[in-house]
Structure 1
């Protein structure tokens, strides 16, 4: 079953996001290699491909998992 994982940033979360990014990307690459990743991407704070200083407000991952717990 596909699950949508919607993450919302909290105030001043950039340092946490930067430290988690390598593991996050590694997991996305693994899901893609397994054929389980449908789509993933950030939510820009403003409507532009490069939000610059406005940053992002969160992200979305839609992938196939065997259960909610696995997701």
Structure 2
């Protein structure tokens, strides 16, 4: 089952995001190699500065999806003010059909 992780950064946290970006990207790479990651990228403001993240993952249930979200280095560093975990149905342009 797919889940969308909707992550909102705390205000004025661009430096914290940049400091933890290499670990975050390693985390996403591990998830990708394990077949859990479907897509990911930052939300931005009008100037292009990151304000959060959208991560689409495969998990058996919402509890597993939440556990995956909690292990993101950004989450562990305290970057996010909130993380929503929502079931997601990829219906348009889904490469898996």
- TM-score class, shorter-chain normalisation, is 0.7 to 0.9
In the alignment, structure 1 segments of 5+ residues that lack a partner are none
Task: Compute the TM-score of the two structures, normalised by the length of structure 2.
Answer: 0.58
C-alpha RMSD of matched pairs (Å): 1.7
Q: Give the alignment's TM-score, normalised by structure 1.
A: 0.75
How many residue pairs were aligned? Answer: 65
Gaps of 5+ in 2: 69-97
Residues 12-27 of structure 1 mapped to structure 2, 5 A cutoff: 12-27=12-27
Indicate the residue corresponding to 1:11 in structure 2.
Answer: 11
1:28 to 1:12, Cα distance in 2 relative to 1, 3 A: same
Deviating 4+ runs (over 4 angstroms)? none
